[in-house]
Structure 1
């Protein structure tokens, strides 16, 4: 399978993104991974599931980084590539490193159906199972001391784990693209696998997530009894969590961020302020009508009616049309950021124009009703 560098395709995408594109950091604000993290934390109240998925992805990247350093150490320690053994070692590790950017959540969603062969991630897991306990860590190799450098574009480096941070605030390193500063030992991979198990999966864990008992038992057995730490151990759990987020959380995220641009606290504030404004507008309109005030005085009703209708329409559409036309979206309460995803920008612009047209029609109808109806003093 040919290796391809993942590149953001937001410029050519004329549709809403899917969850895999968001988690792969192929989307821009307001449907980027940072926004999805905030949505899972503040709205769904289930950020632990996203953290688990990201930490398993981090574990996979750690394993790939380990294999890449091992390959470098083999090339440096045996520079004479005419030796057949060196060629075989280099070729095996090189084949493991060739990962495709189009893989699904656990690396098996887009496998080649034309041949019955393992995916790159499956080859990686098989290699790590065979390598377990053999002492091939890059720390044991002379070449590993010189192996630090930039991560190739086809592979994102391990992500700083969310597990060490506060779950109430998003990690500032969620978009980090810096390579690890230290080489990766096999003990680091083992520690990473155990930390995921003890943090998310075991009953009574600090941030326990709910998984089918069969999946949980299999992961626990593989790590604690068989001593496995390869990424394939978490495949079933990772796919289950991905499908749960795709089914339960992601549609609401798109509705909130792709079809709207304001968050729940702002929606509630607009609803309350809009109802108060409409009550004041109707009360004032009837007072002016029954005091038989002239039409010029009653024209001031335009102000409270316009404010009330605008706020209620914003709540109904989940959208502030003026902010959307200005290219802004609300991340958290009263915190705004630019809309950078082109398709989302066009979609919100169209919805904003429709919303403003609705506001204008309703406002005009109410104002005409209370301005031009003859008054009668009681």
Structure 2
């Protein structure tokens, strides 16, 4: 991940894009970790995000392989000598590790570098198609399936350390296995975590991997773009609304609704009791307390935000688990919405309390 400086964060006075989230250019609560939790718990379509991440990791693996190969060729080539592979490798410049969909906000030299990388991998002697590994037929329940991204087991302090370089020398066999793993995990019909793609796109990918023995990144470019656009259209707007305009998860929101309705029931019962028994106005002032509690929880349900937690700088990512808000613009948005929510809760509670305090009392 590119380093996030305070200047970069202050300069971005807007909500992030999906590309920025996937590239880990954002901080909590609109970071990749939070988006993964949202896709898993609320959208129930985390397999699409995992596919995108695995294809990006495959691209990083290919780049690391070519980088190591170029380094070994340069070391092995005597000074003044020349080798065809050395010339080809010199034409592949270094590319940033993080990559969005092909052609998405990318400079032309980066797109050319991607094409040259794939062309070089195709120019090497292709590996023979290998039969599906046992992992293709294995089925794992959600409980048995290991967590996919490394940041799911990370701490907030180490979550943004996203080095994609493997801890070993990458071989062509590793690239081949990576491509087959993506194919057999997400794309083959009835696979472990099958995602829905257009039939012609799916057939093309299967043919390229199994029949043509291709494992270069261009094999998955169309599918990666398709999944990116699907997430951008169907999931990302809801994610921004949930995390940038609120700080509660659905279960917490429903719990607040239930507690608010129960509090309102108690508030109205107490209010009618003090009115129908003609209690003094001093005694009636006690109805302010249940109305304040009920108004607070109902408004937090309506606006999907806990004002006090937002003012303290916290956002809920799973039920009753909170994380510190680190994205400056999101923090300012939530602070403004928290103040507005508190104002509405105060006005609502004040109106109902005044009504029952000053209404004439009577005995039945």
- In the superposition, the TM-score normalised over structure 2's length comes to 0.88
Contact 1:102-1:110 at 8 Å conserved across structures: no
Offset of 1:258 from its aligned partner? 0.3
Offset of 1:279 from its aligned partner? 1.0
Offset of 1:72 from its aligned partner? 1.1
> Is 2:282 the partner of 1:302?
no
Contact 1:10-1:28 at 8 Å conserved across structures: no
Contact 1:47-1:167 at 8 Å conserved across structures: no
> Is 2:55 the partner of 1:56?
yes
Match 1:172 to one of 153, 157, 166: 153
Offset of 1:333 from its aligned partner? 0.5
Alignment of 1:152-171 (within 5 A): 165-166=146-147, 171=152
Q: Which residue of 2 aligns with 1:270?
A: 256
Alpha-carbon distance in 2 for matches of 1:222, 1:207? 20
> Is 2:72 the partner of 1:82?
no
Match 2:123 to one of 111, 127, 130: 130
Alpha-carbon distance in 1 for matches of 2:160, 2:329? 22
Match 1:345 to one of 314, 331, 348: 331
> Is 2:15 the partner of 1:29?
no
Offset of 1:93 from its aligned partner? 2.1
SS of equivalent to 1:11? helix
Alpha-carbon distance in 2 for matches of 1:337, 1:100? 29
> Is 2:39 the partner of 1:40?
yes
SS of equivalent to 2:49? helix
Offset of 1:377 from its aligned partner? 1.2
Q: Which 5+ residue runs of structure 1 have no aligned equivalent? A: 136-162
Alpha-carbon distance in 1 for matches of 2:96, 2:33? 24
Match 1:209 to one of 195, 205, 208: 195
The 3 A distance-change label for structure 1 pair 195 and 176 is: farther
For residues 128-174 of structure 1, give each alpha carbon's deviation from its aligned partner in whole angstroms, at most 9, with x where no partner exists.
10024399xxxxxxxxxxxxxxxxxxxxxxxxxxx972479973267
Alignment of 1:226-305 (within 5 A): 226-305=212-291
- In the superposition, the TM-score normalised over structure 1's length comes to 0.85
Alpha-carbon distance in 1 for matches of 2:184, 2:273? 67
> Is 2:304 the partner of 1:318?
yes
4+ residue runs over 6 A deviation: 167-170
Contact 1:10-1:26 at 8 Å conserved across structures: no
Alpha-carbon distance in 2 for matches of 1:81, 1:315? 71
Q: Which 5+ residue runs of structure 2 have no aligned equivalent? A: 129-143
Alpha-carbon distance in 2 for matches of 1:81, 1:339? 54
Alpha-carbon distance in 2 for matches of 1:198, 1:43? 26
Contact 2:51-2:182 at 8 Å conserved across structures: yes
Offset of 1:71 from its aligned partner? 0.8
Q: How many aligned positions are there?
A: 341
